[in-house]
Amino acid sequence: MNDGQRLPEVKGGIAPYLMVEGAMKAAEFYRTALGAEIAGAMPPDGSGRTMHVHLYINGGSLMMTDPWPEHGHPAKEHHGTTLHLQVEDVDFWWERAVEAGMTITMPLAVQFWGDRYGQLRDPFGVSWSLASRG
């Protein structure tokens, strides 16, 4: 991406930027589990770490990096954050995510506000919620 290529467009109002151990592995996992498209990625360093990966998921951008403790960015457990995907067919998205290896933390069900909603955790420790309007 730094060799004169145009940077991918940042889509959506807020673009989360995650730090995960194995950013490229996570990107590949999200391709399978969430239908992500890899919009761009920096090549890995000699240790296999990636400084920047840009994904498109459900019309929005998600960016990721591996931890870089020598630059003040050590690996940390993800707390208090859930990435939400509002989708047309939550059952399709849910089944694909679970089949790919996400763990159910809140079963998919119709909630009091009317959405069919549930929560999952991916193998990288990131919490996700999926929902469709009832």
Fold of the 82-132 domain: 3.30.720
Q: Which residue, among 70, 53, 43, 60, has the nearest Cα to 124 in the 3D structure?
A: 53
Domain boundaries for CATH 3.30.720.110 within the chain: 82-132
CB proximity list for 92: less than 8 A, separation 6 or greater: none
CATH 3.90.1170.40 fits 17-68, yes or no: no
Q: Which residue, among 85, 109, 77, 1, has the nearest Cα to 35 in the 3D structure?
A: 85
Angle, nearest 10°, between helix axes 90-100 and 23-34? 140
Domain boundaries for CATH 3.30.720.100 within the chain: 17-68
Tens of pLDDT, residue by residue over 28-69, are 999 999 999 999 999 999 999 999 999 999 999 999 999 999
Tens of pLDDT, residue by residue over 84-120, are 999 999 999 999 999 999 999 999 999 999 999 999 9
pLDDT of residue 3: 55
pLDDT of residue 77: 84
Does residue 2 carry a pLDDT above 80?
no
Q: Please state, as a whole number, how many other Cβ atoms lie within 10 Å of the Cβ of residue 131.
A: 21
